[in-house]
């Protein structure tokens, strides 16, 4: 029986070791992708910053401020949720989806709930499971988002915006603050927080501010959502890297514990065997009442025990 236990433990160690190989590989892949994702964020930054700049310049004009994008319009609400497509990433999907659920709860006060646009397989699955209707869903773009992916999401959202009944647009995503800090966050995109500035530069707008704003809105949303997708992707890779590192470390600890148990089981088996031999010899000696039996036993026992 004890010999069997040793074999069982040996098999478990081997299985943990092969799992550890997988988690270590995933950890390495994730960390190489973090670098690439951070570069993508840096590359896209000038575009989205200039877009925000143009929106801010428009926000100082009275024509734009009376536009629904600043002043608010209809009563419908749209929520875009950026989740991940894969798991094994710690709390990444959990926290962004919890933030989404919180937002949906606050927005659903009285009457109809908001329209949900879900990005990422995990987000789609979550809402499906919760019985939350999803108007549009996108999958497979969260790992390495392209600008075309953001355009596709905005095209879907624009269908609701063009109906003229939408008053609010929210985005729930994970912000990549730094390598060490990512946060799931819900923020309102529309109505845009208008800023007032007394000594604002007087821009000439061609065509007028309202027309520019109509054309700018989808482009600006693309820039915002693209940035959010890139940050979400970087955060996912960081979360996965961290989760896989923890898993690899845990596997190390588990292997150590199992190996200790296995060695003890082997030692136990040896001890038991010796005890059996000693016991058997003892019995023989008593039966024989013999002379040289005792010396023969000792020769027999010691090599086995070493």
Partner 1 sequence: MATTRVDVVTPSGLLYSGQAEMVVCRATSGDIAFLANHMPYVGTLEAHPVRVVHPDGGPDELSFDVDGGFVEVNANHVVVLASTAGRQP
Instruction: Tell me the residue ranges of DSSP E strands in 130-165.
Output: 136-138
Q: What backbone torsions phi and psi does residue 65 show, to the nearest 5 degrees?
A: -65, -25
| Smallest separation (angstroms) from partner 1 to the CB of 222 | 7
- For the bound state, the minimum distance from the C-beta of residue 265 to partner 1, rounded and expressed in Å, comes to 60
- In whole angstroms, the minimum distance from the beta carbon of 20 to partner 1 comes to 38
Can residue 62 be called a binding residue for partner 1 (CB under 8 A)?
no
CB of 144 to partner 1, least distance (A): 13
Q: Does 43 bind partner 1 (CB under 8 A)?
A: yes
Calpha distance 83→120 (Å, rounded): 5
CA-closest candidate to residue 161, choices 205, 192, 203: 192
- One of 16, 30, 44, 96 touching partner 1 (CB under 8 A): 44
Q: How far is the CB of 199 from partner 1 (least distance, A)?
A: 13
Is residue 88 close enough to count as binding partner 1 by CB under 8 A?
A: no
Nearest-angstrom CA–CA distance, 51 and 220: 6
Choice from 226, 234, 244, 265 touching partner 1 (CB under 8 A): 226
Number of residues that bind partner 1 (CB under 8 A): 29
85 closest CA partner among 182, 241, 229, 186: 229
Which DSSP helix (H) or strand (E) runs through 171? strand 166-178
Binding segment toward partner 1, per CB under 8 A, in 17-25, 48-56, 105-113, 268-276: 48-56
Shortest spacing between CB 58 and partner 1, in angstroms: 7
| Residues 124-163, mask of contacts with partner 1 (x by CB under 8 A) | -----------------------x--xx------------
Burial of 35 (0-12, 13-18, 19+ CB in 10 A): exposed
The yes or no reply on residue 223 touching partner 1 (CB under 8 A) is yes
Q: What is the largest CA-CA distance in the chain?
A: 120
Binding of partner 1 at residue 190 (CB under 8 A)? no
Tell the burial category of 220 from Cβ atoms under 10 Å away from its Cβ (0-12, 13-18, 19+): buried
CA–CA gap between residue 268 and residue 19 (Å, rounded):
28
Residue 121 CA: distances (Å) to CA of 85, 93, 101, 127: 4, 10, 16, 10
Pick from 178, 196, 199, 201 the residue near partner 1 by CB under 8 A. 201
Work out the burial of residue 231: count CB atoms within 10 Å of its CB; fewer than 13 is exposed, 13-18 middle, 19 or more buried: buried
7 binds partner 1 (CB under 8 A): no
Interface residue with partner 1 among 6, 85, 222, 224 (CB under 8 A) is 222
CB of 155 to partner 1, least distance (A): 12
Q: Which of 9, 13, 58, 234 binds partner 1 (CB under 8 A)?
A: 58
**53 sits near partner 1 (criterion: CB under 8 A):** yes
CA–CA separation, 82 and 300 (whole Å): 72
Residue choice 205, 254, 273, 278 for contact with partner 1 (CB under 8 A): 205
Near partner 1 by CB under 8 A: residue from 50, 159, 256, 259:
50
CB < 8 Å & 24+ apart, contacts of 136-141: 139/85, 140/85, 141/85, 141/229
Site for partner 1, rule CB under 8 A: 43-44, 46-48, 50-51, 53-54, 57-58, 147, 150-151, 201-207, 211-212, 215-216, 219, 222-223, 226
């Amino acid at each position: 029986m004890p010999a069997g236990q040793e074999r069982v433990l040996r098999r478990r160690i081997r299985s943990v070791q092969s799992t550890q190989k997988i988690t270590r590989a995933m950890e390495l892949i994730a960390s190489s992708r973090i670098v690439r994702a951070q570069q993508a964020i840096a590359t896209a930054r000038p575009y989205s910053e200039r877009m925000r700049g143009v929106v801010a310049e428009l926000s100082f004009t009275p024509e734009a401020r009376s536009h629904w994008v600043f002043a608010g319009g209809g009563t419908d609400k749209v929520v875009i949720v950026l989740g991940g497509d894969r798991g094994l990433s710690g709390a990444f999907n959990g926290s962004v989806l919890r933030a989404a659920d919180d937002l949906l709860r606050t927005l659903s006060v009285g009457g109809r709930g908001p329209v949900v646009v879900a990005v990422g397989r995990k987000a789609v699955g979550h809402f499906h499971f919760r019985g939350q209707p999803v108007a549009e869903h996108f999958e497979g773009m969260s790992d390495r988002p392209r600008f075309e992916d953001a355009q596709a999401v905005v095209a879907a959202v624009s269908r609701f915006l063009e109906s003229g009944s939408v008053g609010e647009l929210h985005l729930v995503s994970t912000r990549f603050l730094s390598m060490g800090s990512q946060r799931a966050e819900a923020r309102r995109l529309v109505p845009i927080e208008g800023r007032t500035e007394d000594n604002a530069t007087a821009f000439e707008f061609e065509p007028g501010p309202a027309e520019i704003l109509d054309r700018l809105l989808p482009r600006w949303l693309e820039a915002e959502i693209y940035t959010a997708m890139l940050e979400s992707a970087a955060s996912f890779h960081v979360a996965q890297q961290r989760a896989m590192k923890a898993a690899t470390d845990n596997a190390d600890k588990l292997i150590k514990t199992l190996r200790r148990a296995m060695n003890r089981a082997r030692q136990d088996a040896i001890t038991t065997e010796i005890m059996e031999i000693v016991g058997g010899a003892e019995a023989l000696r008593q039966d024989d009442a013999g002379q040289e039996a005792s010396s023969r036993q000792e020769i027999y026992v010691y090599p086995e025990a070493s």
